[in-house]
Amino acid sequence: MKLIVGLGNPGREYAATRHNAGAWWVARLADQLGVTLKVDTKFHGLCARIGRGESESWLLNPQTYMNASGRAVAALCRFYRIQPEQMLVVHDELDLPPGVSRLKLDGGLGGHNGLKDIVAQLGTREFWRLRIGIGHPGEKHAVVNYVLQPPRKEEASLIDTAINDSLEVWPLIAEGNYQAAMMKLHTQKQS
Q: Is 146 annotated as a binding residue?
A: no
Q: Is 80 annotated as a binding residue?
A: no
CA distances from residue 153 to 13, 27, 160, 182 in whole angstroms, order as listed: 18, 20, 11, 28
Neighbours of 55 (CB within 10 A): 9
Nearest in space to 163 (alpha carbons), one of 118, 108, 81, 98: 98
Q: Is 67 annotated as a binding residue?
A: yes
Catalytic site positions: 19
Which residues define the annotated binding site? 14, 65, 67, 113
Which residues define the annotated binding site for tRNA? 14, 65, 67, 113
